[in-house]
Structure formats: C-alpha cells, structure tokens
Amino acid sequence: MNAEKVNTQAGKIILAPMEGVVDATMRHLITKLGGVDLCVTEFIRITGYVLPEKEFLKSAPELARQGKTPAGIPVVVQLLGSEPELLAMNAISAAKMGAPAIDLNFGCPSKTVNKHRGGAVLLDEPALIHQIVKAVREAVPDNIPVTAKMRLGNLDKSLAVDNAVAIQEAGANSLAVHARTKVEGYKPPAHWEWIGRIKESVDLHVVANGEVWNCEDYQRCKELSGCDDVMIGRGLIARPELGLMIKSYQLGQSGDGAAWPQVVLLLLEYFSFVEQKLPPKYVHGRIKQWLHMMRPQREEAEKLFFSVKTINDLSDLRACLEREL
C-alpha cells in the first residue's frame, strides 16, 4: 500500500477508536452497513515490553485477515505509550502482522493512563511527542503510514500548533485532531475552527474529529476545519448508518436514516456476536450500552432503553428487542 494514497483520498469517513465500545464486532457491523472508509482499533497500551502476537490479536483480530474487516475496510492499529523505542518495537511487530497503518494516541484523558505519562498529558511535551513519532516512523517500513491522533491540548490550547508541527516534522503521514482539550472532555462544542488553525500551520494531511452527529454537523465541521476527511465516534454508534447518510447527502440526495426495525436487526446481530464472545453475565450490559448510546438520536431507542433497563435475563432481553420488529 502506498502511504500517499492512503492518506490523501478526499472525503473519507473514519470510524473513531473507542475503547470499550468500538471492538472488532462493532467495526464489522458498522463497516458492513457501509459508508465508512477506515477504522482505528481501541488503544493498545504499551508499557515495558513488546507485546506477543496474541495481545495484538485481542484488540485487532483483523490482523489475522490482512488488517481488514470482513467488509474489506482497513483497520489501523493504535498504540498508546510514552517510550519512543518501545513504541517503535511494538509498531514493528504490528506492521509485521499486517497492520495497514500505525496510529499513535496523544489524546486519551484517562487518569490512570495520564498518571503513567500516556495519552493527553503528552500534549504538554511537544518534544517527546516528536521523539515518539520519529522513532515509530523510522522503525516502520516506508509503505506503512504512521498517523497520530491528538486533542487540542491537555489543560489549554496553547501548544496545539506546536504539537501538530512536532508531529509533522517527525514524519507522520496524517494527523487526526479531536477539537477539544483534555479538560474540555466531551463537552460540546468541539472547536472545529481550531482544527482549521492547525491545518493552516502544517503541511500535513489533517482529519477533523469531534461532535459530528448528522449530515449538517459533518458539513459545518468540514467548512470550519477545512478538512476533507472526518473521523466520527459517538455519532456512528448512535446512528450506525451515518456514514451512508453522509455519502448520499454529499451526492445531493436526502441522507435519510435507517428505519427502526433495521436498527433493531443490527442490535440483534450484535447480541448474537456478543453472546459468542463474552460470558453470559456481561452480555446484557453491552447490548444496553449500545442502545443507551443511540438514545440521543432516536426516540425509539430512548423508549426501548427504558423498557429493558432492568432486564438481565438474556432470553427476555432478546424477546423485547424482537417485539420491535
């Protein structure tokens, strides 16, 4: 694969990495629906040693199938850590296993991660960010893109451009920017105009991310950020067909969402996958988690969530979903 080609196609929609939510099952179901051009794994935390293959496969089972979802959509492997050489060695392993690209996480707000000098706190140290990206870029074969994902800063936005420049000068192929600082958490708004400011300051492929829930948000995000490519997280979980809606909206078509029974069928399919993967006591939680994340975008999900909230028996839960069809 040619790094240039991977990163410069216009108008890509990228399914954001979401730890505990966007696992291989979710990537499979969403990319099967269509409209998504690229996925990124949940972060794989790198501390102290080179992970064995089986650890990479836990987060990225797609590595056993040429780094793609069954629908053929590439899945980038995301690493999180603060030790340049160690990250580089792990990146080499992931690349050898078939990762189509390596992404580096500079945005995780988790207290545990930040305490160990990982994720968003690194945004206080552009020089270290530069060292990390450089070490990984130099270690990984040229034909495998190395990308980064950052927030606008840790406590404030004062180093946003410095960090982007550090990432560019270290040789990254692309940079996704979640348009908020760590302290801004997930609170709206996302500062898309700041992505635009970053984009104007670097000569690097920039992907816009944050708070895109519908076609209008997508359009406005593109206008304010100046980016062609947009990464979407919660919006695609709330409306798994959002990628398709945006693609038809771009063609001047209506961009209508899926009918509720189609969404319920997807939830039922998810149910079956989760049942195969997790012990029974964890299954209802995952189904309710997805339904809960659909609530802001769908009245039907809001209603169904309240009627299944206290149901833990899996047959009862399935029956409730089936009644929606």
Ligand X SMILES: Cc1cc2nc3c(=O)[nH]c(=O)nc-3n(C[C@H](O)[C@H](O)[C@H](O)COP(=O)(O)O)c2cc1C
The nearer residue to ligand X, 28 or 318, going by C-beta atoms, is 28
User: Applying CB under 6 A, which of residues 12, 17, 192, 221 lies at the interface with ligand X?
Assistant: 17
User: Applying CB under 6 A, which of residues 149, 191, 284, 286 lies at the interface with ligand X?
Assistant: 149
* Residue 19 binding ligand X, by CB under 6 A: yes
User: Applying CB under 6 A, which of residues 87, 104, 122, 232 lies at the interface with ligand X?
Assistant: 232
Question: Is 11 part of any known ligand binding site?
Answer: no
The nearer residue to ligand X, 88 or 176, going by C-beta atoms, is 176
Task: Supply the angle between the helices 126-139 and 160-169 in degrees, to the nearest 10.
Answer: 20
- 221 part of the active site: no
User: Applying CB under 6 A, which of residues 98, 145, 235, 240 lies at the interface with ligand X?
Assistant: 235
Residue 181: CB minimum distance to ligand X, A: 12
Residue 297: CB minimum distance to ligand X, A: 12
The mark string for 49-88 relative to ligand X (x by CB under 6 A, - otherwise) is -----------------------------x----------
The number of beta carbons lying within 10 Å of the beta carbon of residue 185 is 9
Q: What is the 3-state secondary structure (H, E, C) of the chain?
A: CCHHHHHHCCCCEEECCCCCCCCHHHHHHHHHHCCCCEEECCCEECCCCCCCHHHHHHHCHHHHHCCECCCCCEEEEEEECCCHHHHHHHHHHHHHCCCCCEEEEECCCCHHHHHCCCHHHHHHCHHHHHHHHHHHHHHCCCCCCEEEEEEEECCCCCCHHHHHHHHHHCCCCEEEEEEEECCCCCCCCCCHHHHHHHHHHCCCEEEEECCCCCHHHHHHHHHHHCCCEEEECHHHHHCCCHHHHHHHHHCCCCCCCCCHHHHHHHHHHHHHHHHHHCCHHHHHHHHHHHHHHHHHHCHHHHHHHHHHCCCCCHHHHHHHHHCCC
Question: 178 to 217, contacts with ligand X by CB under 6 A?
Answer: 178, 209-212
Question: Is 149 part of any known ligand binding site?
Answer: yes
Q: How far apart are CA 76 and CA 142, in angstroms?
A: 15
In a 13 Å sphere around the CA of 213, the CA atoms on its Cβ side amount to 11
Question: Is 289 part of any known ligand binding site?
Answer: no
User: Applying CB under 6 A, which of residues 6, 18, 152, 267 lies at the interface with ligand X?
Assistant: 18
Question: 34 to 53, contacts with ligand X by CB under 6 A?
Answer: 42-43
Tell me whether strands 146-153 and 102-106 are parallel, antiparallel or unpaired: parallel
Stretch binding ligand X (CB under 6 A), from 191-199, 233-241, 284-292, 308-316: 233-241
Q: Binding residues for ligand X, how many (CB under 6 A)? A: 22
Residue 165: CB minimum distance to ligand X, A: 20
Question: Is 209 part of any known ligand binding site?
Answer: yes
Residue 212: CB minimum distance to ligand X, A: 6
User: Applying CB under 6 A, which of residues 8, 21, 197, 226 lies at the interface with ligand X?
Assistant: 21
* Residue 12 binding ligand X, by CB under 6 A: no
List residues forming the annotated binding site for FMN. Answer: 78, 149, 178, 209-211, 233-234
Please give the residue ranges that form the binding site for ligand X (CB under 6 A).
16-21, 42-43, 78, 105, 107-108, 149, 178, 209-212, 232-235
List the catalytic residues: 108
List residues forming the annotated binding site. Answer: 78, 149, 178, 209-211, 233-234
